[in-house]
Amino acid sequence: MPNPQNDHTKDLCLRLLRAELEDEVVAILREYRYWDDRDAWLAYGNVQNNRSIVGSQQNSAIAALVEKLVNSIDAILIYECYRTNVDPTCSAAPLNMKQAVERFLGIRDGFIQNLDAAERTRLAERIRLVACGTKENPAYLVIDSGEGQSPDQFANTFLSLLRENKNKIPFVQGKFNMGGTGVFQFTGQHSFQLILSKRQPDILPQNADNPLLNKWGFTVTRRMPPSANQPNSTYVYLAPGRSVLNFEADSLALLPGNYPYAYVGDMSAGTCIKLWNYKLPGRLKTLATLDLRYALERYLQNPALPIRIQERRSGYRAHYFDTTVSGLYSVIADNPEDIEQGMDTGSQIVVPDVGTIEIRIVVIKEEQAEGKKYPSGIFFNVNGQLHSEISGDVVSRKTKLEYLDNSLIVTVDCTNLPQLVREDLFMNSRDRMRECDERTLLESSLYEYLKDHPGLREINARRRQQRISSAGQQNVTEIIRNLLRGDPTLAALFGAGQQIRVPIGPVNEPIEYAGRQFPTFFRIHNEPRDGLIKRCPRNHTCRVEYETDANNDYFSRVVDPGHIEVVGSPTLLSHHLWNGKAVLRFSVPAMSNPGDRLGVRVIVNDISRVEPLVCNFSIEVEADAPPYPPGGPQGEPRVTLYGTPNVIEVRRGDWALHHFNEKSALKIKLTEDETLDIYINMDNLYLLNEINRRRSMNPEILNHWFKYGLFLLAMGMLYNERQKVRSIEEVDRDKINDFTEGLAITIIPIILQLGKGLAPEAA
């Protein structure tokens, strides 16, 4: 029997769904007389002053959008839990996301990297991100086949704030109940969001007499301007008669068809959210299957479930309009040829007073790192979602691995940190860390681990050698020495005149290491006949070196990893595994006494072994050693630099290696032995202009002035900044690099004009 009211409400819902710009949404709401009716709108979360909550969310549009996708992942896992007749809050539920994914979806070890591309794509169709709207003002649909909600539950789920909806569900990510409100600050002028949902029929309560259980519910959120009774703007949702609108329908045409059709396929239950005029940065507004995909992989590095991105804005030409986001881990797993040989490794690290983290290190080949495919830096994840990061250039400076600045990927899994520590470390917005003691300890441990990694040091040294051409370098050395020899002020910049430490000869090719997937031995290197006794001050750490035939990724790989266990009172803080050598770092209990001898048993095991590999040694506790001074040696900081730098010319073909462009002038890198490498852009726009303008002059003279003039000016700035800090690593070299861009404009004209004014006797 026809139901005019039901059809009227359904028509409103579908018209809102298919509107592509926020102005169309305003027009539709005006037509239905809801736009100006303040009584038809309720405060989001039943909190009148909810702007304070919304305003404290993510500071980037992509991070806010990720929250919506994470909510969809939660909805899928909760639905699958209900389907097994398990209450998600009970003790029989999985304890974490990985367990839930393995148990409910049958994915080995809970890692989607263990699925092939076709399997991931099939699974990704359960969570879709559909680009619609227009190229200039994109809109996005987030569609999932998760549990869905009945109309009477919207206020308690989608539209709630600061409740404990998911706090008792251990295997989901969303715990703070912010409702994914971070997107409001990026959805056009009015913060529009459509929420449309229907509860999955196979998890409805039996014999329920609630007439709303089988209905679709929908609402629109908006930002309501201030009024006489509300001095600040507030976020509200459409609820005429204090209830969200609802209607009956077996299914709705919500799913995208072939490009460019967005609303074709039927959906019988689940959730669809639409965001209009979404304010992504300009480069992310392009074809969704490219830059937007890469951005999502940065934020969802190891998602519990894959996501299908579908571009449906008309006017694009592309090879494909649909792609699957499986996270950075899966991209790395699918492209092993992009990784430096053997450099996919990692370990567990115990950070005193913080907790245990899992670290994975990947170094991308230099030619692959130049593109947009891979990010670089340290990435802190919880349940596969990015919570904070440190940029690659900062990491490379802190670790003196400056030739890995754009290709070093360090992922830090913080999921198993104690709950209180995670709360202190990460903001509720899940996009940055607080400045706190735990952060300082965590970052310091990571930097020390990376500095000590033999594989990273080897690759860094090899890349440096490749960049510095030995041909002609001796001539550069003599020029610099002559400049310094002729002026004591310049000579004073560089201390006692150390020799230039430059790699000479052909670049050494990496030695191929053929390890085993499952090692046959793991033993102490050069173990004494009577057993190893390691001495360790109570307040320091000690290192023990092992030899093995294991692959470098033995402890860090996703499939069938090895496990290391330590029995005894000393604590295993970390371990490196590189080309047949493993270095384990231990600390002794603070309550131990000098002279105590502590037995240690190291047990290495994997699925291939009937009996584990076991080796024993002892640690003899010594009295406390003098503490490591914070910031380096005590006393006045040295103000001289560390010997004569290397000055290397860079041409246009190598700009990408140094992040140069036509206006870049100079970049300073600090090496492990504290030699400075100075890269000068010899295809600088202003230099080329001067050469073109002054055709009567020898271009080699102009090149010489530009190169060594910039070099000496940069050294003066570096010397000045060096006096303000304890170590040269603390100098803000990026600031000097930026300043030299301005100096590059005027350096040749200044030299010419000042030279014209020289008196004969001065000349």
What CATH number should be reported for the domain holding residue 366?
A: 3.30.230
Predicted confidence (pLDDT) at residue 546 exceeds the cutoff of 50: yes
What confidence tier does 211 reach under pLDDT thresholds 50, 70, 90?
confident
559 and 610 inside one domain: yes
Strand 322-325 and strand 385-391: pairing? Answer: unpaired
pLDDT of residue 225: 85
Q: Name the residue with tokens 């870049």.
A: 664
**Amino acid found at 261:** Y
**Domain contains 512:** no
Predicted confidence (pLDDT) at residue 638 exceeds the cutoff of 70: no
227 and 316 inside one domain: yes
pLDDT of residue 514: 87
**Domain contains 507:** no
Residue 602 backbone dihedrals phi, psi, to 5 degrees: -105, 125
pLDDT of residue 589: 93
Least confident of 84-88, 313-317, 370-374: 370-374
**Domain contains 762:** no
Task: Please report, for the domain that includes residue 616, its CATH number.
Answer: 2.60.40.10
540 and 437 inside one domain: no
202 and 67 inside one domain: yes
pLDDT of residue 431: 80
Number of domains in the chain: 4
For residue range 565-586, list pLDDT tens digits in order.
999 999 999 999 999 999 999 9
Helix-strand-coil percent breakdown of the chain, rounded to 5? 35, 25, 40
Residue 19 backbone dihedrals phi, psi, to 5 degrees: -70, 135
Contact between 186 and 9 (Cβ < 8 Å):
no
* SS3 sequence of 503-518: CCCCCCCCCCCCCECC
Contact between 302 and 558 (Cβ < 8 Å):
no
Could you tell me which of 499, 481, 498 has the C-alpha nearest to residue 490? 481
**Domain contains 240:** yes
**Domain contains 343:** yes
83 and 196 inside one domain: yes
d(CA 386, CA 380): 6
Contact between 665 and 747 (Cβ < 8 Å):
no
Could you tell me which of 128, 62, 131, 129 has the C-alpha nearest to residue 315? 131
Least confident of 200-214, 521-535, 597-611, 650-664: 200-214
d(CA 373, CA 290): 9
What confidence tier does 470 reach under pLDDT thresholds 50, 70, 90?
very low
**Domain contains 192:** yes
379 and 309 inside one domain: no
**Domain contains 510:** no
DSSP state for residue 405 in the 8-state scheme:
T
Residue 8 backbone dihedrals phi, psi, to 5 degrees: -65, -45
pLDDT of residue 73: 95
Give the chain's mean pLDDT.
87
pLDDT of residue 495: 56
pLDDT of residue 732: 85
pLDDT of residue 231: 75
d(CA 131, CA 318): 14
321 and 382 inside one domain: no
pLDDT of residue 76: 97
The pair of three-digit structure tokens given for residue 77, joined into one six-digit string: 């896992």
Q: What domain range includes position 616?
A: 522-622
pLDDT of residue 138: 96
Strand 270-275 and strand 41-43: pairing? Answer: unpaired
**Domain contains 628:** no
For residue range 290-302, list pLDDT tens digits in order.
999 999 998 999 9
DSSP state for residue 289 in the 8-state scheme:
I
The continuous run of DSSP H or E covering 479 comes out as: helix 473-485
For residue range 97-120, list pLDDT tens digits in order.
999 999 999 999 899 999 999 999
460 and 478 inside one domain: no
User: Which of 304, 325, 346 is the endpoint of a domain?
Assistant: 325
What confidence tier does 626 reach under pLDDT thresholds 50, 70, 90?
confident
For residue range 715-730, list pLDDT tens digits in order.
888 888 877 877 777 7
Contact between 265 and 254 (Cβ < 8 Å):
yes
573 and 643 inside one domain: no
Residue 216 backbone dihedrals phi, psi, to 5 degrees: -80, 140
Could you tell me which of 740, 739, 659 has the C-alpha nearest to residue 707? 740
- Beta-carbon contacts of 366 under 8 Å, excluding residues fewer than 6 positions away, are 407, 463, 657
Whole-structure pTM value: 0.84
DSSP state for residue 292 in the 8-state scheme:
I
Residue 475 backbone dihedrals phi, psi, to 5 degrees: -65, -40
Q: 223-226, long-range: CB within 8 Å, 24+ apart, which pairs?
A: 223/184, 223/190, 223/191, 224/38, 224/41
HSE-up of 625 (CA within 13 Å, CB side)? 12
158 and 275 inside one domain: yes
Strand 307-311 and strand 127-133: pairing? Answer: parallel
- Beta-carbon contacts of 652 under 8 Å, excluding residues fewer than 6 positions away, are 683
What confidence tier does 631 reach under pLDDT thresholds 50, 70, 90?
very low
pLDDT of residue 634: 42
pLDDT of residue 628: 57
446 and 496 inside one domain: no
The residue among 353 and 760 whose pLDDT is bigger is 353
User: Which of 570, 590, 622 is the endpoint of a domain?
Assistant: 622
For residue range 489-516, list pLDDT tens digits in order.
766 666 544 444 444 455 566 678 889 9
At residue 349, the 3 state secondary structure works out as strand
User: Which of 325, 360, 379 is the endpoint of a domain?
Assistant: 325
pLDDT of residue 639: 43
pLDDT of residue 497: 40
Q: Name the residue with tokens 């809970």.
A: 110
Q: Name the residue with tokens 């990571």.
A: 446
For residue range 156-198, list pLDDT tens digits in order.
999 988 666 677 888 998 655 555 788 999 999 999 999 999 9
**Chain CA centroid to CA 17, Å:** 33
205 and 319 inside one domain: yes
What confidence tier does 30 reach under pLDDT thresholds 50, 70, 90?
very high
